[in-house]
Amino acid sequence: MHHMKTLRILAGLVLAVALCFPAKATVLPDFSDLAEQAGRAVVNISTVKTDRGGERMRDFFQFRRPPRGGPMDEFFDQFERFFRDQAPQQQQPQQQRPRREGALGTGFIISADGYIVTNNHVIAEADEIKVNLQGSNSSYDAVIVGRDRETDLALLKIEAKEKLPTLSFGDSDGARVGQWVLAIGNPFGLGHTVTAGIISAKGRVIGAGPFDDFIQTDASINPGNSGGPLLDLQGRVIGVNTAIVASGQGIGFAVPSNMAKGIIEQLKSGGMVSRGWLGVTIQDVNADAAKALGLPEAKGAMIANVLPGEPADKAGLKASDVILKVNGQDVADSGDLLRTIARIKPGEKVKLTVWRKGKTMEVTAELGQRDTEKLTQSPAPQDRPLGDIAGLSLRPVNEQEARALGLDKPQGLLVLDVQPDSDAEIAQIAPGDVIIEVNQQTVSTLADFERIYRTEGREKGVVLVLIKRQGRNVIRTMNVPAQ
């Protein structure tokens, strides 16, 4: 009985505590006011482009056809016969008209006088661009103020009679994974659709361009949502909905607002985007590279190649230097460096903190202008991993070989042969490669090579090697056995 009385007393105490401190109910946000208010500034964008179809194909083959007498004669004859046979069937005027194709997308108004943000791919190659406001049956002709292919952003302008509702950019850096977001757009042409979700991840690299830094969300985003806003609960745009994973559900990507703001400001002021340029090819620093270089952490961006005459060359940067900071801001990896430099205007001077031969140094560089056309013409260094140097047959490069190997002068050690099943073969070192530096030290003789390999290499278990391959620099770490 005594025990039963004690249990009743304890139960009473628990009930009393529960009544004093009620469980906190989980309350989901109500998006209705936000959807109504923000939705007024979200627009439907429709485009029309002309598709010349078979006429374009015929022009292509007629224009490109090589002189007769080659192995492709029969191939081109077949196409000419096809278009000739089709000609009688195309007598009706309506069949001669070029086909016009339409597409739908989304945008949002950022100024009361009619500036609209969208994706570049929404309006690319469009002959006509129409903008429809929410709740309005009238459409407006839009003109392209500017566009940036590398971030897939574009700025349009319409001339409306009335003052337009607007959205403003928020701080995407301050946005947190797990917070609620709202997407508004026109998926599959279903005008003004609102979906809600959370931020699933930040800093996603999906291979869409050189400045990938996407916000990932599970708010439903589908074809037609492109160019629409991703909003926080205060109605601020923290992203521009841009890409989806077609085979996945709840996986969408948005350009962060802090990146979009700078791009849009430049497009509005000058119709084009200017980006800073160092003139280097870079790569990430892995654990082996950090070990070889004596870096405390595997971070920063390692220079693989310095382009002659470009800002980095003028500043004295060298291959195998690791850039750790830009103007005091830490550089996490090669992508981080690319985005940081691109945000700085050409002509500005930047202070770079560089790791070279076991210590940091400060270098000042005046940035140039990033030239997209130049980049597409300049081949990137091959990304082939190199490993252990054992199994290599080497000798110094002579003057005659230097010219054929793309060297300015005789330098380095030429790889003549790689032993089968050796560590070097596994590492994909190939005959014709030229080893220029080992651990940031020039090697011109076999003695140079052997000294660094047997001392620093065996001490650290790894060396950093700069290789010239087909006129391009490639940097890789290579393991060194203890004996």
C-alpha span between 260 and 276 (Å, rounded): 16
Residue 242, annotated as binding a ligand:
yes
Pure H helices in 186-256 = none
The answer to whether 213 is a known catalytic residue is no
Residue 218, annotated as binding a ligand:
no
Residue 245, annotated as binding a ligand:
yes
Write down the catalytic residue from 121, 220, 336, 448: 121
Residue 321, annotated as binding a ligand:
no
Q: Please state the separation of Cα 326 from the chain's center in Å.
A: 19
Write down the catalytic residue from 172, 200, 220, 226: 226
Looking at the chain, the number of H-run helices and the number of E-run strands are 15, 27
C-alpha span between 269 and 271 (Å, rounded): 6
C-alpha span between 264 and 152 (Å, rounded): 11
Residue 239, annotated as binding a ligand:
no
For residue 263, give the 3-state DSSP assignment: helix
The answer to whether 121 is a known catalytic residue is yes
Q: Which residues contact 208 (CB under 8 A, 6 or more apart)?
A: 152, 214, 242, 243, 253
Specify whether the CB–CB gap between 283 and 386 falls below 8 A.
no
What's 343's DSSP letter?
T
Specify whether the CB–CB gap between 408 and 416 falls below 8 A.
no
Pure H helices in 40-141 = 54-64, 73-86, 93-96, 120-123
C-alpha span between 183 and 193 (Å, rounded): 8
Specify whether the CB–CB gap between 442 and 434 falls below 8 A.
no
Read off the tokens for 77. Answer: 């004859």
Residue 152, annotated as binding a ligand:
yes
**Which residue in this structure is represented by tokens 């977001």?**
181
The answer to whether 2 is a known catalytic residue is no
Write down the catalytic residue from 152, 288, 321, 433: 152
Computed on alpha carbons and rounded to an integer, the radius of gyration of the chain in Å comes to: 31
Bridge-based pairing state of the strands 128-132 and 392-396: unpaired
What's 169's DSSP letter?
B
Q: Which residues contact 391 (CB under 8 A, 6 or more apart)?
A: 418, 419, 422, 423, 424, 425
Question: Which of 288, 270, 285, 282 shows the shortest CA–CA distance to 345?
Answer: 270
Residue 38, annotated as binding a ligand:
no
Pure H helices in 431-476 = 446-452, 458-460
Read off the tokens for 321. Answer: 């230097």
C-alpha span between 37 and 168 (Å, rounded): 13
Residue 480, annotated as binding a ligand:
no
Read off the tokens for 147. Answer: 């566009």
If residue 359 lies in a helix (H) or strand (E), which one and from where to where?
Answer: strand 359-366
Which residues belong to the annotated binding site?
A: 121, 152, 224-226, 242-246
Which residues belong to the annotated binding site for substrate?
A: 121, 152, 224-226, 242-246
- Which positions are catalytic? 121, 152, 226
